[in-house]
Amino acid sequence: MSESHELQQVLQRAARDLSRRSEATSLRYEHLDAIRSAPGNQTAALANLLDAAAADDLTATIHLARLLKTPDLEDAIAEAALRRAAPLEAKSAAIRALQDSGTDVPEAVVATLTLAENFVGAPDVPGLRAVLDLPEAWRQPTLDAWTERGIAAGPDVAAIAMEEGQVDSATVAERLGASGDERAVALLQAIVGASDRESAKRAKRALHQLRARGITVDDAEPRGAFSLEIEPDIAGDSLGYITGVDGLGGRILWMLIPNSTGGYGLLEAVIDDVHGIRKAEVLKTTRGDFRQHMTRLRENPAVLLAKAAPAAVAGILREAEALNESSATEIPSGYAEFCSGTAAPLFETTGEGVGDLPEPPAGEDARREALRDAVELLGAPYFSNWAILGDAAENAATAVRAAETSEVLVDEDQRKQQVDQAVAGVADSFDDLERARFKSRLHQMARVLAASGNSTDAARARVAGDGFETVTDLYADHPFARAIIQRGVMAAYQHLRQHEPPDAAQGGQP
């Protein structure tokens, strides 16, 4: 047997002994003596045990490390108990062990533990909502602890958890029957009347258990008397998110709305500033799953995402509806039903705007500098698809290719002049409507950037947007406009070259 394996076995025996006694107990002398006598690296052996510990053994293993004051285990403890879906008691033990070792545990982690333990000890509907917003590593262990110890403390909480799919009705019935709580009667009768055979069987058994404990169970009471419907808090419990705008005026919006049974309806809509609402899908989800989805999107560098007041999101959608009408674009099915349902109050009010439009820099010189610097925005991943596409860019690309292959133009300066003229001519395609669109697009980006905390780029986007209205020669005097024109012509040029016949004359690129 290797030294490390022998030491791990000694440590395991000590941890199992601790698991059979209260956490306040000390380590038995015989185990302490065996650990001191066993050869091997104690830190490495305990780290291995923490990594491989079963859920039921993890708390005791952490407690052992705490009693032994084993150094350099902070990361192993955090990885095993805080970053994974470890039992809630193991998370609590981990935080105490880290604090005892002098490790600075982030306040957010301590606050999360407090939230979880408070919910398990005194479950209520707001607490359940908060728990469902937690990361998976904390959410499921908290729900497991509540299911095991506190599910009977509030049948209304259990009803919502069932509706959210966080706990099955059979488990609810089993726990409520053992509670001896008369408040459980109505929910158990509802389970009998509305659930599958196994859940109904368990609910009937639970009602019998309550009778045996002296709880009055009225058999004449209609099945399903416990109502799962609750009054949704539309103003306080809804969520809204928006992305930035792409170069064609497109963006995605989300509205999460509570319903009367404790669940949520989610509207995901794709809009643009020409056709209006292009796509809309209505889904059922949980608040926690939605928040996790938004977190994943935030981690994608190509997506600029900001939280927005739901009423403000509704306002954007109403404006998009007008574009559907003017462009004769059909509104996607399901959207109208969502707007007229539970979410109706949000669509009937005028909400605040999405973020604040930053003020332009004070002074003409500062604004000119910001306009010059705005071209740097195009280096951000969420500006990567900003380019002028369409007929003007394609015509310019054709003219560029013609200048390259022309047998008449033998002077390279002449070729370069014709290429420059062809590309610069794209700016002439910007009529008042197109200028207004790009101004609005950049202003919307400025709002989202400001809401995301990027004040520098927000100010640049604001000034670049203003420039589409105030700058006469966009190609010569608006670096951002010039760059997206060049991007568009380059894309059209590359497409043109890819589709040329094999024997086409070869030439350079603009």
| HSE toward the beta carbon, residue 64, CA cutoff 13 A | 29
Give Cβ neighbours of residue 51 (< 8 Å, ≥ 6 apart). Answer: 76, 79, 80
Q: Is residue 433 part of a domain?
A: yes
Judge if 163 and 88 occupy the same domain. Answer: no
401, part of any domain: yes
Last residue of a domain, one of 317, 347, 377: 347
Q: Which residue has the tokens 């981990």?
A: 94
Answer for the pair 437, 249: CB distance below 8 angstroms, yes or no: yes
pLDDT of res. 128: 86
Domain assignment present for 358? no
Are 337 and 253 contained in the same domain?
Answer: yes
Please indicate, yes or no, whether residues 300 and 422 belong to a single structural domain of this protein.
no
* Residue keyed to tokens 């599910």: 151
Coil/strand/helix, residue 195: coil
CA dist., res. 316 & res. 448, Å (int): 13
Work out how many domains the chain is built from and give that number: 4
Is position 353 within any domain? no
Q: What span, in angstroms and rounded, lies between the C-alpha atoms of 312 and 507?
A: 52
- Are residue 240 and residue 199 in the same domain, yes or no? no
Low-confidence ranges of the chain (pLDDT < 70): 1-4, 22-25, 150, 152-155, 178-181, 193-196, 219-232, 260-262, 349-353, 355, 409-410, 503-510
Q: What angle do CA 125, 128, 130 make, to 5 degrees?
A: 115
The reply to whether 373 and 479 lie within a common domain is yes
φ and ψ of 389, to 5 deg: -115, 170
Name residue, tokens 């001191």.
36
Most distant CA atoms of the chain, gap in Å: 105
Cβ atoms within 10 Å, residue 182: 13
Q: Which residues contact 473 (CB under 8 A, 6 or more apart)?
A: 427
Same domain flag for 268 and 243: yes
What gap in Å lies between CA 51 and CA 191, rounded to an integer? 40
pLDDT of residue 316: 93
CA distance 115 to 121: 10
Sign of CA dihedral 385, 386, 391, 395: negative
Of the residues 347, 382, 414, the one at which a domain ends:
347
The 8-class DSSP code of residue 320 comes to: H
Residue whose entry in the numeric block shows the structure tokens 């005028």: 350
Residues 72 and 135 in one domain: no
* Residue 364 burial by Cβ neighbours in a 10 Å radius (0-12, 13-18, 19+): exposed
Residue 467 lies in a domain: yes
Q: State which residues form the domain around 306.
A: 234-347
Amino acid 222: pLDDT: 43
Per-residue pLDDT at 408? 72
Which residues in 304-454 belong to E strands, given as ranges? 305-308
Q: Is residue 229 part of a domain?
A: no
Boundary (domain end) residue, out of 180, 212, 244: 212
Strand-by-strand arrangement of the 276-285 sheet: 276-285, 264-272, 251-258, 239-243, 305-308
Say yes or no: 82 and 159 in one domain. Answer: no
Q: Do both 144 and 239 map to the same domain?
A: no
Please check whether residues 201 and 258 belong to one and the same domain.
no
Q: Where are the beta strands (DSSP E) in 299-452?
A: 305-308
Same domain, 208 and 165: yes
Q: Is residue 191 part of a domain?
A: yes
Quick one: 375 and 490 in the same domain? Answer: yes
Q: Is residue 474 part of a domain?
A: yes
pLDDT at site 223: 44
pTM: 0.62
3-state DSSP assignment of residue 33: helix
